[in-house]
Amino acid sequence: MTKCKVQDITNLLEELCPLDYAEKWDNVGLLVGSKEKEVTNIMVALDATDEVIEQAVEKKIDLLITHHPMIFSARKTVTNDDFIGRRILALIKNDISYYAMHTNCDIMAMADAAAEKIGLINTRVLEVTLRNMIKNREVGIGRVGILREQQTLESCALLVKERFQLDHVRVIGNLESNINKVAISTGSGKDFVKLAIEANADVLITGDIDHHTAIDSLACGLNIIDAGHFGTEHFMTELISEYIKNNSNKLLENNTERDSIVVLVAKEKDPFQII
């Protein structure tokens, strides 16, 4: 039997999240390893932390896929003198190829999935980053939509907790406020406050909201549900792992003798602890 190669998997991922849809400052794609490497075991994670790489080594992973790129800026050296260098060396030593899908995944997969999680309808893009002229539609980060039923800010926050499987969220605004129109952007969302206001959203669901942004949002009449960076993005691992599993038939189209692949989700937790 022959095996799938890294290139086969990345081609599949890029059907969902094309690399050229990523923001210009981002670093996505195959960052470590060879596109010709044979793949049996895949692991999907939010971050390539030491703990995740240890899991990948233990499970004999061939391809590690993360949301956040471990390598962002150009490096003059790769040594064991810093933690990024040590992680890169660990991947190379254990023959693990490494692929990142960040803002292209935010734009093409996570935004719609997040909106669907809370049941938004009539959605549109919150921030247009480019216009896909071939498909004649706008492409961008975040979504704005309408709840199927009006809720209070408090009940909306409880809905977010439930759908994103969280222990807590932070809420900015009057808990009795009526919520109809919702803006949602996974990850760090302080830069989307103005866009949410311009969209006449009743609430912005996001993460990483700081003190001053919270105060300014209140002054502008925008409620915010801060579900955390990890909290709003950790579902990416299940989203992408299920996508690979559900589309694995495409990898077998031209080769029925090809080995099946195993897709695992890394065990991760929010770096913040609530005491």
Q: Is 52 helix (H, G, I), strand (E, B) or coil?
A: helix
| Predicted pLDDT of residue 131 | 73
For the cut 80, the answer to whether the pLDDT of residue 251 exceeds it is no
For the cut 60, the answer to whether the pLDDT of residue 151 exceeds it is yes
Which pair of tokens denotes residue 247?
Answer: 């589309």
> Residue 85 is inside which H or E element, if any?
helix 83-93
Same fold, 4-104+235-265 and 118-232: yes
The one-letter code for the residue type at 97 is S
Q: Is 127 helix (H, G, I), strand (E, B) or coil?
A: strand
| Predicted pLDDT of residue 182 | 99
Per-position DSSP letters for 240-273, written without gaps between them: HHHHHHHTHHHHHTT-TTPPP-EEEE-----S--
Domain boundaries, the chain: 4-104+235-265, 118-232
* Residue range 209-246, pLDDT digits in tens: 999 999 999 999 999 999 999 999 999 999 999 999 99
CATH of the domain spanning 118-232: 3.40.1390.30
| Predicted pLDDT of residue 134 | 57
| Predicted pLDDT of residue 260 | 80
**Binding site per annotation, positions:** 67-68, 106, 229, 233
* Mean pLDDT score across all residues of the chain: 95
Q: Is 225 helix (H, G, I), strand (E, B) or coil?
A: strand
Strand order, beta sheet including 262-265: 29-32, 97-100, 63-66, 41-45, 262-265
| Predicted pLDDT of residue 130 | 80
* Residue range 172-212, pLDDT digits in tens: 999 999 999 999 999 999 999 999 999 999 999 999 999 99
For the cut 70, the answer to whether the pLDDT of residue 258 exceeds it is no
Mean pLDDT to the nearest integer, 52-62: 99
**Binding site per annotation, positions for a divalent metal cation:** 67-68, 106, 229, 233
| Predicted pLDDT of residue 3 | 79
| Predicted pLDDT of residue 56 | 99
Beta-carbon contacts of residue 206 (< 8 Å; ≥ 6 apart): 184, 185, 186, 187, 188, 189, 190, 192, 224, 225, 226, 227, 232
Q: Please tell us whether the domain made up of 4-104+235-265 is placed in CATH 3.40.1390.30.
A: yes
Percent of the chain exceeding pLDDT 90 equals: 89
> Residue 45 is inside which H or E element, if any?
strand 41-45
> pLDDT-derived band of residue 62, with 50, 70 and 90 as boundaries?
very high
> pLDDT-derived band of residue 257, with 50, 70 and 90 as boundaries?
low
Mean pLDDT to the nearest integer, 88-108: 98
Contact between residue 153 and residue 223 where contact means Cβ atoms under 8 Å apart: yes
Per-position DSSP letters for 132-165, written without gaps between them: ETTTTEEEEEEEEEEEEEEEEHHHHHHHHHHHTT
pTM value is: 0.94
